[in-house]
Amino acid sequence: MKRRAGEVTMRYYIVDAFTDRPFGGNPAGVVLLGDAPFPDEGLMLQVAAELRYSETAFVRRLSATECHVRYFTPAAEVELCGHATVATFALLHRLGLADGRCLCHTLAGDLEIEAGERVMMQMAAPRIVEAIADTDAIYRALGLDGYRPQLPVQVAYTGLNDIMIQVPDVTTLNALQPDMEAVASITKEHETTSFHVFALPTQTIKQSNNQAITAYVRDFGPLYGIPEESATGTANAALTHYLAVNGVIPQQGDFAFLQGEAMGRPSVVATRIAADGTVYVGGTAAIVAEGNLLLDNK
């Protein structure tokens, strides 16, 4: 293809995270910049809007074991995105550009990443940010006016603030049709990214690797232009910490969250709590597409 004067290219990939096959999991855009500096923020936002995925990662490789990654939704830059990070390091591993322990610089801090066929990423130090006592508006926004959960509604953090919200069962979870305007208003009020809604299993259900499902989840983030995500790394890491703090799961171990069933894109998000309380999240990924963005250097 003949290039126009002043035209530059960016190499991009579409990668489905938290799945081992294309068209499952949660898709992310990944733009590889090599060792070039990050483009203008406005341009990165335009690229994310053009790719139309919930997040696009822009990746600068600083060395064979060190990267700087920035994340953009179609509406804004965010500090961290779990599924886009899994997508990024699965891609780098597949391209022969990363293997084993790597360091990832993000706006949420420096994170250790284990790059391989399965990617596991260290999350920011977990904490419960806020307990929300008045839950009426939250459950009204979900169409469950008057519901009183067994577990508290709390804002949990492992890189982003998300509201942890229990519903009674999986059937109720999959039937939710939230009022997105109300969800956006409440997440803005509490300075959070999403409603992370979960149901605990009523029986032990295991994946093919014999790992029991810890919880079923849906994630709604309309404030950032994401009505629903099919897999959410940061929010499920935060949910892991939340469940441990509230005595639902042990303080150490491996866990699994099933997300995306209501969207027809089932995803399994793996998490781990280490002995020191550090939370990790990860999974596998499938590369779906690659190409060049053709941009005017003006």
Same fold across 7-123+284-296 and 127-277: yes
pLDDT in tens, 208-243: 455 789 999 999 999 988 899 988 889 999 999 999
Averaged pLDDT for residues 121-140:
95
Say which CATH architecture domain 7-123+284-296 belongs to.
Roll (3.10)
Domain ranges of the chain: 7-123+284-296, 127-277
- The pTM (predicted TM-score) of the whole model is 0.80
**Residue 51: band (very low, low, confident or very high) from pLDDT cuts 50, 70, 90:** very high
pLDDT at 35: 92
What is residue 4's predicted lDDT score, i.e. its pLDDT? 56
Would you state the pLDDT for residue 222?
Answer: 95
Kindly report, residue by residue over 150-195, the tens digit of the pLDDT.
999 999 999 899 999 999 999 999 999 999 999 999 999 999 999 9
Mean pLDDT of the chain: 92
Catalytic residue numbers read 55
Q: Kindly tell me if the per-residue pLDDT of 1 is higher than 50.
A: no
Compute CA distances 15 → 26, 83, 289, whole Å. 8, 9, 7
Quick: pLDDT tens for 59-89: 999 999 999 999 999 989 999 888 899 999 9
At the fourth CATH level, which superfamily is domain 127-277? Answer: Diaminopimelate Epimerase; Chain A, domain 1 (3.10.310.10)
